[in-house]
């Protein structure tokens, strides 16, 4: 499994090369919105890397090769899910380094530090997105799943692009107050535990569906 994850990392040459560009574009685009630029940047780069890994395997018919090796299909599916978390860690490092460079050079660009809430939000968003996308990907392949990918990725930023400005503009609205309570540091332990359990169940269900679909595919 480690080698499969390493393979997904090593094929990211172009993404690694342009990773700073992707993040910088989002930072500049979110200047008027503020701290949401942090999770937006991290989620975008993570999802781009995930999609590139899926596209690369599909283009090079990697599934045929992998299934000719003494590897269980459960290992292949699990490695794909775990790769997303590795990509998330890489994206966080990218943002921290780029934000640090901007701060040291004192460029006229606002950046914000990465907080625990940012990481938690990124993790939750990516689990939801990949848990929806991966079962479709493993059932029909990358080409046929591109529409789902498009809806998930651009839908997230479209909703975020409409919702966040409203929260910033009207901090006294009920939605803004609810969001503030949700992401405050005074989280109730029951809320945290409940959210964690729901997320794990969602991810586990997605994995089982992906494995079922992948086992039924012929290459």
Instruction: Assign 84 a pLDDT band (cuts: 50, 70, 90).
Output: very high
Chain CA centroid to CA 211, Å: 20
Alpha-carbon gap, residue 157 to 125, rounded angstroms: 11
**Mean pLDDT of all residues in 110-121:** 87
What's the pLDDT score for residue 194?
76
Instruction: Assign 168 a pLDDT band (cuts: 50, 70, 90).
Output: very low
- First-residue to last-residue Cα distance in the chain: 20
Distances from the Cα of 91 to the Cα of 102, 146, 214, angstroms: 16, 22, 28
What's the pLDDT score for residue 182?
53
Chain CA centroid to CA 36, Å: 15
For residue range 7-22, what is the model confidence (pLDDT) as tens digits?
899 988 888 888 888 8
Alpha-carbon gap, residue 42 to 120, rounded angstroms: 12
Alpha-carbon gap, residue 8 to 115, rounded angstroms: 27
For residue range 184-204, what is the model confidence (pLDDT) as tens digits?
545 556 666 777 888 899 999
Res. 87: pLDDT tops 80: yes
Flag the least confident range among 43-47, 54-58, 84-88, 174-178.
Answer: 174-178
**Mean pLDDT of all residues in 107-121:** 88
pTM of the model: 0.84
Check if the beta carbon of residue 109 is closer than 8 Å to that of residue 27: yes
Q: Domain extents for the chain?
A: 2-216
Angle between helix 13-29 and 73-105 (nearest 10): 50
**Mean pLDDT of all residues in 125-130:** 89
State the Cα angle at 121 between 116 and 123, rounded to 5°.
Answer: 95
State the Cα angle at 76 between 95 and 2, rounded to 5°.
Answer: 60
Instruction: Assign 104 a pLDDT band (cuts: 50, 70, 90).
Output: very high
Res. 37: pLDDT tops 50: yes
Q: How many residues does the chain have?
A: 219
Q: Which residue has the tokens 């500049």?
A: 28
């Amino acid at each position: 499994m480690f080698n499969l994850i390493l393979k997904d990392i090593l094929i990211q040459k172009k993404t690694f090369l342009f990773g700073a560009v992707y993040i910088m574009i989002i930072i500049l685009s979110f200047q008027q919105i503020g701290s949401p630029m942090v999770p937006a940047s991290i989620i975008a780069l993570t999802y781009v890397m995930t999609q590139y890994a899926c596209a690369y395997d599909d283009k090079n018919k990697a599934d045929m090769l992998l299934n000719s090796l003494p590897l269980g299909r459960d290992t292949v599916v699990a490695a794909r899910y775990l790769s997303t978390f590795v990509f998330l860690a890489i994206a966080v490092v990218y943002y921290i380094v780029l934000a640090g460079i901007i701060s040291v050079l004192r460029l006229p660009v606002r950046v914000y530090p990465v907080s625990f809430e940012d990481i938690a939000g990124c993790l939750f968003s990516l689990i939801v997105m990949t848990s929806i996308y991966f079962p479709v990907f493993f059932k029909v392949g990358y080409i046929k799943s591109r529409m789902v990918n498009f809806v998930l990725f651009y839908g997230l930023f479209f909703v975020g692009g409409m919702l966040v400005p409203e929260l910033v503009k009207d901090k006294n609205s009920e939605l803004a107050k609810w969001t503030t309570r949700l992401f405050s540091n005074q989280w109730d332990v029951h809320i945290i535990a409940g959210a964690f359990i729901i997320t794990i169940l969602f991810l586990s269900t997605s994995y089982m569906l992906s494995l079922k679909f992948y086992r039924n595919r012929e290459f």
